[in-house]
Amino acid sequence: MRAVVQRVKKASVKVNGDIRDSISRGILVLVGVEKGDDDSDIEYIASKVTEMRVFDDREGKMNLDVKETGGSILIVSQFTLHGDLRKGRRPSFGSAERPEMARELFDTLIKKIEERGVKAGRGEFQTHMDIELVNDGPVTILLDSRRGF
C-alpha cells in the first residue's frame, strides 16, 4: 500500500462539482492499494498517518501528531500511485489491486484510522474527483508498506 501524505491547512474533494468531503487543518492522504495488500499493510499506513509527528509544537519543532492538534484526515483512493513507467511513456497499472478488493481494503483503512480517534473524511472510490488543498509548509511524506518508508 502506498500513500502520499500532505500536511494541509485545508483540503476538499469534489465529485461533479459538489463537495464530497472537506477538512480544515490536518492531513490529506492519497492511497494506492497494491495486489496482495492485507491487514498488515493497512495497520502500517493507519499507524503512520495517525502517529506521524509533522505538526509544530510551541517551539516550532515538528513534534505533534494530527490527533494532538485536533486535526482531521482526508483520505482519497488513488490507484495511479502504482503507475509504472519503466517500460515506455504510458503507465502500467498491473500492480494495482482489482477495484472490488481495493475498495474493501480502503474502507478498512478508514475504519482503522477512525478507531485511533481521528476524524477521517474521504473521497469517492472509483470516481473522477477534483481535490483542492492548501499545503502547509509544504510538508509531503511518502509511505510504502512493503518498502518500509
Q: Is 126 a catalytic residue?
A: no
Give the separation between CA 113 and CA 100, rounded to whole angstroms.
21
The answer to whether the Cα torsion of 5, 20, 67, 77 is positive or negative is negative
Q: Is 80 a catalytic residue?
A: yes
Please say whether the beta carbons of 146 and 41 come within 8 A.
yes
Residue type, 81: L
Q: Is 78 a catalytic residue?
A: yes
H/E element, 17 = none
Candidate list 6, 50, 79, 106, residue with the active-site label: 79
Candidate list 6, 50, 55, 78, residue with the active-site label: 78
Candidate list 80, 126, 127, 140, residue with the active-site label: 80
Residue type, 148: G
Cite the active site residues: 78-80
